[in-house]
Amino acid sequence: MTAASLSLPGFDDTSQDFHAFLAAYRAAFPDDVLNVREPVTANQEPTALVWALAAQDRHPIIQFDDVAGLGAPLVTNLFASRERVGRMLGVTPAGIHAEYQARSRRLMAPRVLESGAVTGIVQEQVDLTTLPAIRHFATDRGPYITNAILIAEDREAGSGNASYHRSMLHSPTEIATSLHSRGHLWRMYQRAAELGKPLPVAMVIGAHPLFMLAGAARLPYGVDERHVASGLFGAPLEVVRTPRYGIAVPAHAEIVLEGVLDPSARVEEGPFGEFTGYSSDRSTNNLLRVETVMRRSDAWLVDVVGGNSAEHLNLGRIPRESEMVEKLMERFPSVTAVHYPSSGTHFHAYVALRQSRPGEARQVMLGLLGWDPYLKTVVAVDADVDITRDEQVLWAIATHLQPHLDVVIVDGLPGSALDPSASGVGTTSRMGLDATRGPNFDGIRARIDPDAMARAAALLARLDTGKH
């Protein structure tokens, strides 16, 4: 992140180092970082605290100093707050989509360094039993690495790919993982299998949040997430080469595992608490044979809260939202806002628009359902409905929608492999709900004048402080 990008006062983070980021963020926003100093176990307690705080509508970064058996501090819940993600980008929450898209387009090649913090310890005698990991849910198969970004390089195409994949310890030298996204890493893996060769990869466990955000980007094949990370930083991503395969990884990462995905091996992996809120054992059952471990001498475990947590959902959907908002507004100027609610995991989206002609809402919904393969339901509402509030969208459905007229359903489309309601072959139906008022709607919305609301707010403030 460059100094020029920091429009929010008091937050001065110009490094690509997670430790420096957290120190700068804590100094600027001390109330948004919770430091837990008393001992906790690695068995569900960090996740339980996240859930207990979320029930109070609190979503701070959480640092655990003493997690039994971990051997390192644990930091989690980084992306649980959209306001915090905005601060990382130097904007308010309303500006996240535009800023993310603008930065992610400024692709820059990384800058290769001879060494970095992650080269502090390099081990070729691998013992993964010392790798820090926690059990997030009682239904998980065991402790999981949730912040595992796998990097592979297509040397012929001159590009690479970085993507998230849930991972768990299989043996002292092996990791069980799933490439269930069937994305670009899967394409590289299948090509390696056709050639009868293993696929060299590097697993990054913990890095600066902007690199983590780039790892969730949705890109065409051949566009490298590491170049997107440079754009988000506003400066080339600083990388080092792994010792055996020369894969470029963040120079200031916490931990990096280097090895190969073996196309000839299948291992048991899962169940794991997924973004759907269900524990899923759907997996491609891949095996990573680890040959080298690189780590900082003071490495922390930077965790992503699993399940349908605010962090898991925000991290996955902010790049998707940003892309969809841009596409829709370019094609349909009447669209005023797009929101993927946490209540719908990644399967629902709300669209607000100022409809200029009959059928426009339906056209917008079909566009979004066609562009985003995860979506099952899109709700279109008028621009005066706050789509960040589920209850307002539900009110619009209740008062504006006639099911026989305003529902469109398309069947037999590919969907998410992790959708527990999808067919065995991964197909799903998709639905658009037109909850706009339409051209013949004659209701008048009840309203309160702004001056009356202001007087009520002042009265409430006096009642709250006992000055009445």
What pLDDT, on the 0 to 100 scale, is given for residue 10?
A: 52
Q: Do 301 and 332 belong together in one domain?
A: no
Lookup: tokens for 118: 């992650």
Q: For 253, which DSSP code?
A: -
Burial of 235 (0-12, 13-18, 19+ CB in 10 A): middle
Sequential DSSP letters for 50-98: HHHHHHTT---EEEES-BTTT-S-EEE-TTS-HHHHHHHHTS-GGGHHH
Q: What is the CATH number of the domain that holds 170?
A: 2.30.110.10
User: What is the H or E stretch that residue 256 is in?
Assistant: strand 255-261
What pLDDT, on the 0 to 100 scale, is given for residue 284?
A: 86
Instruction: Determine, yes or no, domain membership for 458.
Output: no
What pLDDT, on the 0 to 100 scale, is given for residue 233?
A: 96
Residue indicated by tokens 């507004």? 329
3-state SS, residue 314: helix
pLDDT in tens for each of the 468 residues of the chain?
A: 443 344 444 566 778 999 999 999 999 999 999 999 999 999 999 999 999 999 999 999 999 999 999 999 999 999 999 999 999 999 999 899 999 999 999 999 999 999 999 999 999 999 999 999 999 999 999 999 999 999 999 888 788 999 999 999 999 999 999 997 668 999 999 999 999 999 999 999 999 999 999 999 988 888 999 999 999 999 999 999 999 999 999 999 999 999 999 999 999 998 998 888 788 888 888 999 999 999 999 999 999 999 888 899 899 889 988 988 898 999 999 999 999 998 888 889 999 999 988 899 999 999 999 888 889 999 999 999 999 999 999 999 999 999 999 999 998 888 777 778 776 666 788 999 999 998 888 888 889 999 999 999 999 998 988 754
Residue indicated by tokens 């399967």? 347
3-state SS, residue 165: coil
Q: Do 288 and 370 belong together in one domain?
A: no
Residue indicated by tokens 């009445």? 468
Residue indicated by tokens 């005698």? 125
Q: Do the Cβ atoms of 371 and 321 come closer than 8 Å?
A: no
Instruction: Determine, yes or no, domain membership for 451.
Output: no
What pLDDT, on the 0 to 100 scale, is given for residue 12?
A: 66
Instruction: Determine, yes or no, domain membership for 444.
Output: no
Nearest in space to 177 (alpha carbons), one of 208, 141, 207: 141
Instruction: Determine, yes or no, domain membership for 349.
Output: yes
Name residue 148's beta-bridge partners. Answer: 205
Q: Do the Cβ atoms of 63 and 77 come closer than 8 Å?
A: no
Q: Do 197 and 278 belong together in one domain?
A: yes
Distance separating alpha carbons of residues 379 and 401, to the nearest angstrom: 10
User: What is the H or E stretch that residue 377 is in?
Assistant: strand 377-382
What pLDDT, on the 0 to 100 scale, is given for residue 144?
A: 94
At residue 192, what is the residue type? Answer: A
Q: Which domain holds residue 280?
A: 3-310
Distance separating alpha carbons of residues 44 and 41, to the nearest angstrom: 7
Peptide bond into 271 cis (omega under 30): yes
CA distances from 450 to 395, 405, 455, 456, 462 (A): 22, 36, 9, 10, 19
Distance separating alpha carbons of residues 40 and 289, to the nearest angstrom: 31
Neighbouring CB atoms inside 10 A of 22's CB total 21
Phi, psi angles (nearest 5°) of residue 247: -80, 135
Q: What is the CATH number of the domain that holds 425?
A: 3.40.1670.10
Handedness of CA 349, 315, 271, 174 (dihedral sign): positive
Q: Do 318 and 306 belong together in one domain?
A: no
Q: For 237, which DSSP code?
A: P
Q: Do 318 and 361 belong together in one domain?
A: yes
Q: Do the Cβ atoms of 425 and 414 come closer than 8 Å?
A: no
Instruction: State how many domains the chain has.
Output: 2
Phi, psi angles (nearest 5°) of residue 245: -115, 0
Strand-strand pairing, 148-154 and 199-205: antiparallel
Peptide bond into 209 cis (omega under 30): no
Q: Do 297 and 344 belong together in one domain?
A: no
Lookup: tokens for 300: 């922390």
Residue indicated by tokens 């060769």? 197
Lookup: tokens for 457: 């707010």
Radius of gyration of the chain (CA): 23
Q: Do 28 and 46 belong together in one domain?
A: yes
Instruction: Determine, yes or no, domain membership for 325.
Output: yes
Q: Considering 285, 310, 335, which residue would you say is the last residue of a domain? A: 310
Q: Do 332 and 218 belong together in one domain?
A: no
Q: Do 97 and 171 belong together in one domain?
A: yes
Q: Do 263 and 388 belong together in one domain?
A: no
What pLDDT, on the 0 to 100 scale, is given for residue 454?
A: 95
Nearest in space to 267 (alpha carbons), one of 250, 287, 281: 287
What pLDDT, on the 0 to 100 scale, is given for residue 182?
A: 67
Q: Do 251 and 379 belong together in one domain?
A: no
Instruction: Determine, yes or no, domain membership for 40.
Output: yes
Q: Do 282 and 388 belong together in one domain?
A: no
Strands (E), 82-178: 111-112, 121-123, 144-145, 148-154, 159-164, 167-171, 174-177
